Amino acid sequence: MANIAHVAEHTTRSLIDHLPLLQVLVPFCAAPIIVLIGSRRLAWPLAFISSVISLIISIILMLSVREGGYITYSLGGWAPPLGIEYRIDATNAFVLTLISMIGAVVLPFAYTSVKDEIRTRDHSLFYACWMLCFTGLLGMVATGDAFNVFVFLEISSLSTYVLVAQGASKDRRALTAAYDYLIMGTIGATFFVIGLGMLYMATGTLNMADLADRISDQGANRTVRSGFAFIIVGMGLKVAMFPLHLWLPKAYTFAPSAVTVFLSATATKAALYVLMRFVFSVYHPDFAFAKNTLEIIFLPLAIIAMFSASIVAAFQINFKKMLAYSSIAQVGYMLLGIAILNETGLTASLLHMFNHGFAKALLFMGAGALVLRTGSSFYLQISGVGRKMPITAGAIVIGGLSLIGVPGTAGFLSKWLLIQAALERSSDNSLYLLVALSVVLSSLLAVIYVWRLFEVLFLREPDLSIPISEAPVMMIIPMWILAGSCVWFGFSTDLLYDFANQAALNLLGGSMGMSDSVLNLGTN
Amino acid sequence: MNKFFEFEFLAGHIHYLLFIVLMMTGLFIVVDKTNLVKKIIGLNIFQVSVFMFYVSIGKVTGGTAPIFPMDSNYHVDKDALQENLYSNPLPHVLILTAIVVGIATTSLGLALIVRIRESFNTIDEEEILEIEQKMTRDDNMKYDDISKGML
């Protein structure tokens, strides 16, 4: 009887019920289609269309879970915990929206940039790889099955290595950057699998919600604890957590501009989401070892990253490299938000994920536009370019201000919340006053490296002998979309804050961090 | 702590010990060797150790292969089904995926090494590092905006 009911339910599913899967499946199918058609002219439109479709899907998903609750989707009709489950709640819908938004906005920019930087015959394969990377990132975030996370992680990583290596036609160091990233990334992913193996040994399940239940039932033992350590180190490598960040500057500097834009805004964020999910949902900060890891390891490392990477960024002579180091510092802020361990901190962390994704994508796009027009992103080459390319430089200014966290830009809100979160904790531990102070001080360091950029772009005399024209429209439009949203989210703070707060509440809400209400997409 | 040195405990956990030995060997090769191909080999050993770890956790003492007990006429042997003790197949299936991922990683790594060899003329990490440091120095000399009186 149950079987018949199950079949009936299965056949009455409409398209809208399949959205959690389609989110991942659309770009996944786009990749082989691009390769099979093999036409250079069709590759970009196909990639763009599938990115826009996933953006629409992720927005629908985000709107349907914004009040809490979750949507569950069992792959192939096999019920969880045995089957693979995709589980969309406010937290991952938020991250899915960030990733697909960046994906859809960056592709128009990539069109011109890729034409300039990558050999023409590789174009269709390049976009196929791009789609696979996009799929991997979306899948990592959408899935509710721990082993599935690993599979998607590797899909995105392998395609990322290929994408980074494409920078070789401009600078051969892209090859070694990709190789280093491959070695480090594989070690990270393998550590993650070891951790999952230990969890499976201890619990006998791989479904995240089921894992959470069983771990909280049986309590911690050594296997569970060492699994936690392996997962944190493995994901820490992918997030570029401070001492594990060595692959990042080189990979971001030498990758093609469009790839850097995409990766900087999405790859570390997706990994950070997985880290959050494991720390807060699968494990729980109620466990002493999880709490101690956050407070004794994450917190100091985050603060060290904020200062050291910002200082290194201030001494760079290359725009792209400066931004890469700044990314490490910004990851520090996100980790700090997690480590503060309260609702405000987590909200700040999620918001900063979003804001930093936008600001950094915008800045890297600016760098890409400068590379297109001047040939490189060294400060000497782009001296005074702000006067010749005012529209591009204007967008860069907004991105830079958001990176510092100037009031009126999106970056201000998340840093403000971060300070507030630290102050909330300072009532029982006055050391958190220092944490709040360090956020302010490291933002001042950001002022130094961003100011240096402004000085290079605007205050220096341009070299009048080289004619430089404004960036093409295909680059300016995505840049100003992001610049506009940086300002928009700076003034209209409620929308993003509500989403992030719901996402944070979800993470903090106990087992799997999800309320009991299963939402049905079809009836919404 | 005492328990750790008991022979029976060690013998019963020999597969975990071997897993750790193999894993550390692999990691050491990745960190220590400067030859890029040897690094990939080390990475492979490291990954294989994890495969072995997964396979060993699925083993049930006295268990056989997880095959549904049927005779040649496709009738289910009910008695055999009752007492059929089989190893857990799930970790084995999982690790098949990881093996495929490992092969993809290895081939991509080797492909990158070919390209590195073409453009750097060496596959020794230290020599590559020297070339790259020289490139960085040249960049710094050429593009150093501070010494050129720009700041």
Residue A510 pLDDT: 55
Over 80: is that where the pLDDT of A256 sits? Answer: yes
Question: Comparing C-alpha atoms, which of A247, A245, A168, A179 is closest to residue B124?
Answer: A179
Please report which residue ranges of A1-70 form alpha helices under DSSP H. 2-11, 19-37, 40-64
Please report where in the chains the tokens 């879970």 appear, as a residue.
A65
| pLDDT, tens digit (0-9, with 9 covering 90-100), for A153-212 | 999 999 999 999 998 888 889 999 999 999 999 999 999 999 999 999 888 888 888 888
C-alpha to C-alpha distance for A506 and A504, rounded to whole angstroms: 5
The mean pLDDT value for A236-264 works out to: 91
Contact A194 B50 (CB under 8 A): yes
Residue B4 pLDDT: 62
Residue A499 tokens read as 């989403």
Contact A379 B112 (CB under 8 A): no
Residue A269 has φ and ψ, to the nearest 5°, of -70, -40
**Comparing A141-155, A295-309, A379-393, which segment has the lowest mean pLDDT?**
A379-393
- The closest CB to that of A179, out of B101, B109, B144, belongs to B109
Q: Could you give the 3-state DSSP secondary structure of residue B70?
A: strand
- The closest CB to that of B119, out of A172, A380, A460, belongs to A172
Please report where in the chains the tokens 């507030």 appear, as a residue.
A420
Instruction: Sort out which chain A residues have CB atoms less than 8 A from B140's CB and list them.
Output: 317
Higher pLDDT, B73 or A89: A89
Instruction: Sort out which chain A residues have CB atoms less than 8 A from B54's CB and list them.
Output: 193, 197
Give the gap in angstroms from C-alpha B74 to the nearest C-alpha of chain A.
24
User: pTM of this prediction?
Assistant: 0.91
* Chain B, window 39-58: residues with a beta carbon less than 8 angstroms from a chain A beta carbon: 39, 43, 46-47, 50, 53-54, 57
Q: What mean pLDDT, rounded, does chain A reach? A: 87
**Comparing A320-324, A449-453, B2-6, which segment has the lowest mean pLDDT?**
B2-6
Sorting pLDDT into bands at 50, 70 and 90, what band is A517? very low
| pLDDT, tens digit (0-9, with 9 covering 90-100), for A120-157 | 888 889 999 999 999 999 999 999 899 999 999 999 99
Residue A5 pLDDT: 44
Residue B1 pLDDT: 52
Residue A433 tokens read as 């006053």
- The closest CB to that of A175, out of B91, B116, B151, belongs to B116
Report domain extents, chain B: 2-57+89-124
C-alpha to C-alpha distance for B94 and A196, rounded to whole angstroms: 11
Over 70: is that where the pLDDT of A319 sits? Answer: yes
Which residues are registered as beta bridge partners of B124?
B35
Residue A311 pLDDT: 92
Q: Could you give the 3-state DSSP secondary structure of residue A468?
A: coil
Sorting pLDDT into bands at 50, 70 and 90, what band is A1? very low
Over 80: is that where the pLDDT of A440 sits? Answer: yes
Residue B80 pLDDT: 67
Contact B150 A460 (CB under 8 A): yes
Higher pLDDT, A368 or B5: A368
Residue A4 pLDDT: 43
CB neighbour list of residue A309: distance below 8 Å, 6 or more residues apart: A242, A245, A325, A326, A327, A328, A329, A332
Domain B2-57+89-124: state its class.
mainly alpha
Give the gap in angstroms from C-alpha B2 to the nearest C-alpha of chain A.
17
Instruction: Sort out which chain A residues have CB atoms less than 8 A from B145's CB and list them.
Output: 317, 378-380, 383, 456
Q: CA-CA-CA-CA torsion for A186, A187, A191, A194, nearest 10 degrees?
A: 70
Give the gap in angstroms from C-alpha B142 to the nearest C-alpha of chain A.
9
CB A243 within 8 A of CB A301: yes
Chain A interface residues facing chain B, Cβ-Cβ under 8 Å?
147, 150-151, 154, 158, 161-162, 165, 168, 172-173, 175-176, 178-179, 182-183, 186-187, 189-190, 193-194, 197, 200-201, 206, 317-318, 376, 378-381, 383, 455-456, 460
Instruction: Sort out which chain B residues have CB atoms less than 8 A from A151's CB and list them.
Output: 97, 101
Interface probe for B, chosen from A164, A166, A179 (most Cβ of B below 10 Å), is: A179
Contact A317 B46 (CB under 8 A): no
**Comparing A12-16, A216-220, B54-58, which segment has the lowest mean pLDDT?**
A12-16
